[in-house]
Structure 1
Amino acid sequence: MSRHARRAVIGVIAAVIALLSAVQPALAHGFTSTVYVRIGAGDEGRIRTTLELEYDLLVVSAADAERDDPLFQAGTAAFDAGDTEGQAAALNAHTRSAVGYVTRRFSVGSGSRTCTPSRQGAFTMSRQEGVPYARLTLDWACPADGDPVVRSGLFPDSEGYVRDTKTIITYDLDGRSGSAALDAAHPSFSLGQSWYERFWEFFRLGAEHLLGGIDHILFLLALIAGSRRLREIVLAATSFTLAHSVTFLLAALGAVDVPSRIVEPVIALSIAVVAGWYLWRMWRSRGRAAEVEAVGLGRLGLDRAGWIRLAVVFCFGLVHGLGFAGALGIHEAWSWTLLWSLLVFNVGIEAVQLAIIAVVFPLLAVVRGRAPVAGLWLTGAVSAGVAVLGLVWFVQRVFGG
């Protein structure tokens, strides 16, 4: 390779690393929150909603960020002390502020009218992924002039505490059951919505999550860059899909529970390992481009290196599935309704994954076919940038929390 070509390759590597490093690791599954809502029949024909909200967020949001607010003082003191009884007591002592915040941001309507809420019982506490949640039950008196419509704007980005809050709703009312997912872009839904509207909601969430999860995309790009033939990427993608689908469903249905402080660093490490694998193959076969193409999978099937690569991808896929479940924020007991929603969410993930492969892999194949050496260095540059970023994220997530 000429000196100018080498300089160009070095420039590409530097640009890739700089571009990828500009993306903060928080974009993977940053500071988000999930609100859980169950809807059923209440007393005297009312609609009953049971909300579970992240406790510390409720305290700071309901206190309107006034540090001398009594709710803020009592609530944060109980939170810092890990005092569950004190947390419930703080909310119940300042019910007007806490319930007022919720009813300003969450509502049930019927037709063009808003239903009237009434609190049922005191605040109680629960936990989701080791985080304290406050449980509040509200009954809504609604006019009988249309299908109930639920709206949620709880913990919006504008408050500055979290971003991309999701409200996961399950309902069983008047012979209708199902689930819905609300966010800032889609803050409401009607209980009379059709099955395909419910399908689209969770499909969209899955697609948006993969597109917004830069770590999952980089892992996929590392797989594509390290695959020389269509069969390789198909086997690798299938292995990854099967693995993350299993753990995603198990984690979301509450069968397994692995803390995010373990999951997130391993996801970052997986990016570095898969990208580094290809660089290692290049190093072993340096100067013999044709041999690089042959390493990993033989013409008649998998050789030892190919089986090892698939096993590594499968194991890391298991961890990525836990990341998908944590990002969706569902950790509920088994139900057919919930399973349907999770499967549709996963279909959305797979659709975007296949779209990325369908676009990127043929482009790489064309470059490799027309300019094998340039294609080799291009994939090497991308892999190097991805590997460096994966290691940086790993260190940040282990030591930075």
Structure 2
Amino acid sequence: MSQRVRLGIIGIAAAVIAFLGVGQPAFAHGFTSVVYAHVTAGDEGHIRTKLKLEYDLFVASTADSENDDPLFRTGNAAFESGDTEGQAAALNAHSKSAMRYVADRFSVTSDGRACTPAQVGDFTMTRKEDVPYAALLLDWTCTEQGDDRVLRSGLFPDSEDYVTGTKTIVTYDIDGRSGSAALDAAHPSFSLGQSWYARFWEFFSLGAEHLLTGTDHILFLLALIAGSRRLREIVLAATSFTLAHSVTFMLAALGLVDVPAKVVEPVIALSIAVVAGWYLWRIWRRGGHATDLEAVEGSHFGLDRAGWTRLGVVFCFGLVHGLGFAGALGIDQAWSWTLLWSLLVFNVGIEGVQLAIIAIVFPLLTLVRHRAPTAGLWTTGAISAGVAVMGLVWFVQRVSGF
């Protein structure tokens, strides 16, 4: 293979990695936000909603929308200093502005008629993934007490230019009905009486979108694909990764495991570099035989020692990735079958996209390896090199806090 062709292959692979990595923040799930809403029955026939909103975003959006500069000054100062009591005090001192912002973008209707919100108690503070959240309790008075109750959320829209793609994760347990829903700009509302298949599609789409927008998870998958020598190897690696992250995903989303994002995110970045670097090390040691399997008698699934070792490493890193997936929902309710269903469907969405990527990329790499073994080796090596560099850059950024 000529030097020009080799350089062309490396250039194409580098361009793909650059496209995936360019403009991505060190914390790949940053620059977006998640609002949490829990709906129950309130006193005297009211509908009660407990909202949790990312504090610094809430302050900035409210201050800008309501022209409340004093709120921004006091609220931002409390945020910068980490003063939890000061954060709650800033919102409570400007509760009218904060309430107007929420009421203009979050609503409840009953049989087509708007319900009227009233604040219950003061703003309080909580944390999710080491991020301060403001909690707001509202009781909604509805003149019509019908079965068609609809929630709509347009909180933190893209037009405010602070974040993009805000999700509102809703859980409800009211009038003998319980369930979950995911709202965004494309689907801003849902009915408390929605069908099970509508809930399924919402959380499936949310899981699929989370993997597609989580560049670090895609790069990890690319590293697995590039370093896999046979179809059974990538299938077993993907299965191992799925089982591992499903375990920690469920435990974290149910509030049984709590690991700070400042620990999880750097390890995810390091896992990308390690898995990609593993294959580069194999190329360095074995050259053109990097894709060969060592003959091992009695080995299960046709894997050699290197394959089993890699499988174990992938499983361990999958446990950490599961904690990252859980951060997309941030649900920490008590155990319930309804919640478990939502989490499982979210996970199915993730796996659907993962399998689709494998089905597209791995056959193409296999074809190149069979038709032009040297070109295939350079292609997979270039992809792994780009992924490893990106993983190391993210690791340094996340450890240093950039």
TM-score per shorter chain, which class? over 0.9
Comparing 178-187 with 190-199, greater Cα deviation is found at: 178-187
- The answer for the alignment partner of 2:293 in structure 1 is 294
Matched position secondary structure for 1:64: helix
Give the deviation of 1:216 after TM superposition. 0.7
The one-character-per-residue Cα deviations of 1:240-273 (angstroms, maximum 9, x if unpaired) are: 1011111111111111111111211211111111
- How do residues 158-197 of structure 1 correspond to structure 2 at under 5 angstroms? 158-197=159-198
**CA distance 1:13–1:41, shift in 2 (3 Å):** closer
Q: Corresponding residue for 2:368? A: 367
Partner of 1:144: 145
Aligned-pair CA distance for 1:157: 2.2
Cα distance 1:9–1:58, how it changes in 2: closer, same or farther (>3 A)? Answer: closer
Alignment-derived partner of residue 354 in structure 2: 353
Residues 82-93 of structure 1 aligned to structure 2 (within 5 Å):
82-93=82-93
Confirm or deny: 8 A CA contact 2:211 2:218 kept in the other structure: yes
In structure 2, the gaps of 5 or more residues are none
Match in the other structure for 1:37: 37
Residue of structure 2 in register with 1:63 after alignment: 63
Local SS of the residue matching 1:232: helix
Alpha-carbon RMSD across the aligned residues, in angstroms, is: 2.2
Q: For the Cα contact (< 8 Å) 1:13–1:384, is it kept in 2?
A: no
Q: How far apart in 1 are the matches of 2:264 and 2:194?
A: 36
Range with bigger deviation, 79-88 or 377-386: 79-88
TM-score after normalising by structure 1 = 0.92
* Whole-angstrom distance in 2 between the partners of 1:10 and 1:55: 44
Q: Does 1:77 align with 2:59?
A: no
Matched-pair identity in %: 75
Shift of 1:295: 5.0
Question: Match for residue 285 of structure 1?
Answer: 286
Partner of 1:207: 208
1:135 aligns with 2:135: yes
User: How far has the Cα of 1:20 moved from its partner?
Assistant: 4.2
Q: CA deviation at 1:11?
A: 3.4
Could you tell me how far apart the structure 2 residues matched to 1:222 and 1:366 are?
A: 18
Identify the residue that residue 106 of structure 2 maps to in structure 1: 106
Answer yes or no: is the 8 Å Cα contact 2:123–2:135 preserved in 1. yes
Seen in structure 2, the aligned counterparts of structure 1 residues 242 and 296 have a Cα distance that, compared at 3 Å, is farther
Q: What's the counterpart of residue 320 of structure 1?
A: 321
CA 1:203–1:367: 2 relative to 1, 3 Å: same
The answer to whether the 8 Å contact 1:215/1:267 transfers is yes
* Equivalent position amino acid for 1:224 in 2: I
Distance 1:129 1:274 in 2: 26
| Range moving further from structure 2, 62-71 or 127-136 | 62-71
Query: Structure 1, residues 102-128: CA drift from partner, whole Å, max 9, x if none?
Result: 111110012322111122222222222
Distance 1:252 1:31 in 2: 21
Deviation readout 1:26-69 (Å, 9 max, x if unpaired) = 58211322222111112221211111222222222221278872
What SS is found at the alignment partner of 2:258?
coil
Alpha-carbon distance in 2 for matches of 1:97, 1:183: 24
Q: 5+ residue gaps in structure 1?
A: none
- Residue 157 of structure 2 corresponds to residue 156 of structure 1: yes
Do the aligned partners of residues 83 and 379 (structure 1) sit closer, same or farther apart at CA in structure 2, a change above 3 Å counting?
A: closer
Distance 1:247 1:13, change over 3 A: same
Per the alignment, do residues 128 and 17 of structure 1 end up closer, same or farther by CA in structure 2, a change over 3 Å counting? closer
Aligned equivalents of 2:296, 2:159: Cα separation in 1: 51
- Deviation of residue 5 (structure 1)? 3.3
Q: Which amino acid aligns with 1:8?
A: G
Distance 1:115 1:292, change over 3 A: same
Which residue of structure 2 lines up, in the alignment, with residue 235 of structure 1? 236
SS at 2:71 equivalent: helix
Question: Which amino acid counterpart does residue 135 of structure 1 have in structure 2?
Answer: A
Structure 1, 263-272 or 191-200: larger mean CA deviation: 263-272
CA pair 131-392 structure 1, distance change in 2 beyond 3 A? closer
Within 1, Cα distance between the matches of 2:175 and 2:29?
36
Deviations 1:349-370 (A, max 9, x none): 0111111111211222222222
The structure-2 alpha-carbon separation of the partners of 1:18 and 1:60, relative to structure 1 and needing over 3 Å to count, comes to closer
- Alpha carbons of structure 1 residues 231 and 119: separation in structure 2 relative to 1, 3 Å: same
Measure how far apart 1:322 and its partner are. 0.8
CA deviations over 1:141-183 (Å, ceiling 9, x no partner): 2213451100111122222223322211111111111111112
Aligned to 1:396: 397
Tell me whether 23-32 or 372-381 shows the greater mean CA deviation. Answer: 23-32
Q: Which amino acid aligns with 1:44?
A: E
Give yes or no for contact 1:16–1:381 (8 Å, CA) kept in 2.
Answer: no
My pick for the range that moved more, 16-25 or 360-369, is 16-25
In structure 2, the CA distance between the partners of 1:38 and 1:22, relative to structure 1 (3 Å rule), is: closer
Tell me if the contact between 2:65 and 2:101 (Cα under 8 Å) persists in the aligned partners.
no
